[in-house]
Structure 1
Amino acid sequence: MDCQPQSLPYLSYPFSYQDFLLNHLLPNTPCLFSRQLTSSWPCFSSFLLPHSPRSINAPHLLALQGSSNLVSVHRPSTPLEREEGEAATVCEERRLEEVLGLWEDGKKEGKGLYVKDWHLALQNEREGEKEFYETPGVFRDDWLNGWCRTKGLEDDFKFVYLGSPNTTTHLHRDVYSSNSFSTNLLGRKRWTLFPPSHSHLLRRFPDLPRSQLISDVREVDKSVFRGWEEARKKAVVVIQEEGETIFVPGGWYHQVENLPSSSSPTQPILSINHNWLNSTSLLRVFQALVDDIEACEESIEDVREMLVVQYERERVGGRSEAKGGEENVRAGEAGLEKWEAEWVREVQELVKMDSGWGWEEFWGCVEWGVENSLDPSVQDLQPPLSYIRDQVNLVLESYEGRRDAMVLRSTSMGSTVGETVKRKT
């Protein structure tokens, strides 16, 4: 890829939430924040050693990780693995101590290792330790992690990334099509971003939204990805310096490369990544879930056909109940086909396994966000309540017209899904 680095809008201190909201959050455009946004974070001093050039404080990170020493590590696949069908990178669990030791000793085995999706903040909170970073005010309207906390300390969307130079996170869109911010604690990154308006051109068949996606924008076969040349013209390439924070809007596909330092070419790159969503991203996140559900439905179409045949046989045979029993009877009373309750149940279970959530979880997140938005203490760092209400109502209207929503309302699977939100808005 021959795109040259460009400049993103650069937000300097003092940071205005209204500026960010009007110029970036609502229009869904990326930007960079100067070092002052996160300069007070404790991790800038605790995660790094003070001497020059700065380096990782390995003993401190190992102490934070504690007895749970395994982390998710991505490494380059071997030629033999690729011959056997493995992807260019392989994900495996390894001991953090081993990874840090390989880097510290300069071993060639450490080259290409990348610790990703490390839930260190969650683990730290479980241990009752002080937070090593605080979400900046401009990003604090965070429905996703706020909702996660209502379920206890089971999961979050706050991650530490730690990778050797020249490692890459290949082209992707963030989870749920959510927003993210990423702060470089140590080192530099190159970001290549593509606006949602051109994301279809990143696929092998632009008219087929689930066709093959480009993996690495540096090595694109133009004969296979015929939309690439047009997509490349819209690419935004930016170098993120140490201490800076980038805002990546939801729906923007992006690839990220860890750049070697001229003063310390083997020094790992360390960053904090944080996914979040709120009313400004609600329609996009809703559509992403709809797309995931449709993909799951396509993948088990044979199950739907089997259910239709099964219930038709039972109808002809005079049986009033099948698997699903009372729920299917209620679905029939609501004017729905009796097999649909079982079908929706199957699809929702699959989408939860595949994507991490379904309608119940989505509306749980929205309910948390609506309720939190009514707190006067947070209203200076969120859109106006009228805007939030309008966005939620738009999503409710789209949801209520869906066939699976009708099925869920008629069964005990989800008779209250979306209803609490409707009352609160």
Structure 2
Amino acid sequence: MMGMNIKGSVEKVNGKEMSYSNFVENYLSKNKPVVISGLMKDWKACKDWVHHDDGTPNLQFISSNFGNSNVQVADCGSREFTDQKRLDMSVAEFIDQWIKLSSEELSDHSTNECKDKALLYLKDWHFVKEFPEYTAYTTPLLFRDDWLNMYLDHYHMHEDPDTYKKRDDVSCSDYRFVYMGAKGTWTPFHADVFRSYSWSANVCGKKRWYFLSPEQRHLVFDRNMKNSVYDIFEEVNETIFPNFKKTTWLECTQDQNEIIFVPSGWYHQVYNLEDTISINHNWFNAYNVSWVWDLLLRDYKEASEYIEDIKDICDDFEGLCQRNLAVNTGMNFYDFFNFMVRFSFANIVQLCHLARSSVFDEWCSSSKAQHLIFNLDSTKDITTKMKNTCLSKNHNISLDFRSVLEEPAFLELCFQVDKTYAFIHDQCTLIDDKEKNLMGDLVDMVFCKLISTVVCNPEDLVILIDDILQSLRILPQKKGQNA
């Protein structure tokens, strides 16, 4: 291991014995990794995608049923910039090559030797979006509070038609993926997109994980903090990465039917110790949305510095910076702000329903209400940080409450938010008639003034959230109180 300092293993727990509040308190809010068992028993993927006599992937079933899907496949032996070279092929073509390789007589190799083979690794397959009728799995309760995928089920991240292109790298349809790879395939050292949380479930096979905490991020970058180590098992150049030898690591082996929770900002490198299929989600919520904004701000500064020399001759320098940010990071300031406004509106609608439907004066102390309040309070904290950016200046953002309420996509988002938090907190959903209830509840309560509310900048959103919490006589909650 090139002298790596392994200081411990990732904890393993039984998910059947863990409540949502336990997960929040011990792992989500602490940004701590954990391996969880017992949550995949009834998954269709675990029945259809695996040979139950030996636990190996049922590649023929996958090829026969989903083989026409076009996917990106990583060549694990070929580096391209900061990642592995990607190839475009169908699932059937990928499986044909996998079977061909497996049929050859291969001697055992160490992990370090295996990665040098021309092994192909199918990554980032948007399986749920492509095959919505085939319910391969159900997202476990612990990971349901997923703002990112709830939003992308109803909206594009990029609403500018010049920016949005169907199913391109910039405008991902969702962040739910299937990964498939033979023994020896691997993923280079990285932190996840948006610095989101992720969970990864092994349908079959085993993975080996190596984790570095966010506090040690600076130790794996060069002196200018521009480039990080690509492979922690190659000879790391001490001249380029002088602090790498100071790093300390966590490791773990993830077995079949185990799910690993990867917290925000944790760098990791992963190896498939056996032929493996996994299901993976990237996601964020009130506990880690600050990581998303911090990354956007850091990447924006880098993007603007990179083209600083053309600032004086560029007609729209800020617009160019934001376009580059969207391409490089996956969203820009405007995308993120639109997302935060709509998701805040959806949380406000849920609070309105709770207030109107409850017969108890203490309705706001319910676990669901506290969760919604916590969401809004966290949103306000992040939005306050946006005030001194281009979002506070003149631009084309203008979201008024009435128009958003009339969007069919927003109504569906409200239903998904309602069902999600009802499921998490074991309560009945409150919306039973879409447009009638959504509009009626707001009109016949003290929130009539909200119908004319227009949000054009971060300050508007902060004022709106403050007004809502004050109108409901709610004080903002501290992190952890909704757990």
- TM-score of the superposition, structure 2-length normalised? 0.70
Task: Provide, for residues 215-246 of structure 1, a one-character-per-residue CA deviation record: whole Å limited to 9, x for no partner.
Answer: 01112223431111212x2x111111111111
2:76–2:186 Cα contact (<8 Å) kept:
no
Question: Which residue of 2 is the match for residue 406 of structure 1?
Answer: 392
List aligned pairs for 1:199-214, cutoff 5 A. Answer: 199-205=217-223, 208-209=224-225, 211-214=226-229
Cα distance in 1 for residues equivalent to 2:28 and 2:205: 26
Question: Which residue of 2 is the match for residue 293 of structure 1?
Answer: 300
Alignment CA distance shift 1:165-1:123 (3 Å)? same
Q: Secondary structure at the match of 1:33?
A: strand
Question: Which residue of 1 is the match for residue 59 of structure 2?
Answer: 58
Alignment CA distance shift 1:277-1:366 (3 Å)? same
Question: Which residue of 2 is the match for residue 361 of structure 1?
Answer: 335
Question: Which residue of 2 is the match for residue 49 of structure 1?
Answer: 51
Number of matched pairs: 366
Alignment CA distance shift 1:418-1:149 (3 Å)? farther
Question: Which residue of 1 is the match for residue 264 of structure 2?
Answer: 250
Q: Secondary structure at the match of 1:250?
A: coil
Alignment CA distance shift 1:413-1:396 (3 Å)? closer
**Equivalent position amino acid for 1:397 in 2:** T
Question: Which residue of 2 is the match for residue 18 of structure 1?
Answer: 21
Cα distance in 1 for residues equivalent to 2:370 and 2:200: 22
Question: Which residue of 1 is the match for residue 74 of structure 2?
Answer: 74
Per-residue deviation at 1:77? 4.6
The answer to which of 104-113 and 392-401 deviates more is 104-113
Question: Which residue of 1 is the match for residue 310 of structure 2?
Answer: 303
Match of 1:33 among 17, 23, 36: 36
Question: Which residue of 1 is the match for residue 382 of structure 2?
Answer: 395
Alignment CA distance shift 1:72-1:117 (3 Å)? same
Alignment CA distance shift 1:299-1:394 (3 Å)? same
Per-residue deviation at 1:372? 4.5
Question: Which residue of 1 is the match for residue 371 of structure 2?
Answer: 384
**Equivalent position amino acid for 2:237 in 1:** D
Alignment CA distance shift 1:86-1:249 (3 Å)? closer
Cα distance in 2 for residues equivalent to 1:382 and 1:201: 41
Q: Secondary structure at the match of 2:386?
A: helix
2:456 corresponds to 1:416: yes
Question: Which residue of 2 is the match for residue 196 of structure 1?
Answer: 214
User: Tell me, which stretches of 5 or more residues in structure 2 are unaligned?
Assistant: 107-116, 157-165, 168-172, 355-365, 399-454, 467-483
Cα distance in 1 for residues equivalent to 2:397 and 2:376: 26
**Equivalent position amino acid for 1:101 in 2:** D
List aligned pairs for 1:231-380, cutoff 5 A. Answer: 231=247, 233=248, 235-260=249-274, 268-307=275-314, 342-373=316-347, 375=350
Q: Secondary structure at the match of 1:150?
A: coil
Cα distance in 2 for residues equivalent to 1:405 and 1:181: 32
Alignment CA distance shift 1:411-1:124 (3 Å)? same
Cα distance in 2 for residues equivalent to 1:343 and 1:214: 32
List aligned pairs for 1:79-228, cutoff 5 A. Answer: 89-105=84-100, 106-107=102-103, 112-125=119-132, 129-151=133-155, 155-205=173-223, 208-209=224-225, 211-219=226-234, 220-228=236-244
The answer to which of 104-113 and 243-252 deviates more is 104-113
Q: Secondary structure at the match of 1:349?
A: helix
User: Tell me, which stretches of 5 or more residues in structure 1 are unaligned?
Assistant: 261-267, 308-322, 324-341
Cα distance in 2 for residues equivalent to 1:92 and 1:369: 36
1:64–1:124 Cα contact (<8 Å) kept:
no
- TM-score of the superposition, structure 1-length normalised? 0.78
Q: Secondary structure at the match of 2:288?
A: helix
Alignment CA distance shift 1:21-1:77 (3 Å)? closer
Question: Which residue of 2 is the match for residue 326 of structure 1?
Answer: none
Per-residue deviation at 1:170? 0.5
Cα distance in 2 for residues equivalent to 1:382 and 1:131: 30
The answer to which of 169-178 and 360-369 deviates more is 360-369
Consecutive aligned runs of 4 or more in structure 1 exceeding 6 Å deviation: 85-88, 376-379
Alignment CA distance shift 1:228-1:87 (3 Å)? closer
2:380–2:461 Cα contact (<8 Å) kept:
no
Task: Provide, for residues 223-273 of structure 1, a one-character-per-residue CA deviation record: whole Å limited to 9, x for no partner.
Answer: 431111212x2x11111111111100011111111113xxxxxxx211011
1:138–1:381 Cα contact (<8 Å) kept:
no
Task: Note the aligned Cα RMSD (angstroms).
Answer: 2.8
Per-residue deviation at 1:32? 1.1
Alignment CA distance shift 1:381-1:135 (3 Å)? farther
**Equivalent position amino acid for 2:87 in 1:** E
Identity score, percent: 26
1:371–1:424 Cα contact (<8 Å) kept:
no
